[in-house]
Amino acid sequence: MDSDIKVLEDQFDEIIVDIATKRKQYPRKILECVIKTIKAKQELLKQYHPVVHPLDLKYDPDPGARTGGLTPGTV
C-alpha cells in the first residue's frame, strides 16, 4: 500500500511539473501567434484601396425644386 501511494505521489509530482512548464511556455507561443496575426492584418489593411469612390453630397436648400415644384396636398 505504501508503494502504491509513493507511485501515485511521483506521478502527481510529474504532472505538476509538466503543467507548470506548459504555463510558462504556452503564453509565449500564443503571444507569437497573436503578433503574427496582427502584423498580417495590418499589412492587408495597408493594401486595401476602396474600389468605389464616395460621392460628394451637396445640401439642397430647396427640396421642392427636385420634385417639380409639387407640394404635398396639391395632387
Q: Tell me the domain boundaries of the chain.
A: 1-50
C-alpha cell at 30: 500564443
C-alpha cell at 46: 495597408
What SS3 state is found at 75? Answer: coil
Quote the pTM value: 0.44
Over residues 28-45, the mean pLDDT reads 92
Rounded distance between C-alpha atoms, residue 12 and residue 42, angstroms = 45
Confidence of residue 10 (pLDDT cuts 50, 70, 90): very high
pLDDT of residue 57: 66
More confident call, 65 vs 44: 44
Distances (CA, A) of 24 to 5, 13, 46: 29, 17, 34
φ/ψ of 70, rounded to 5, equals -75, 135
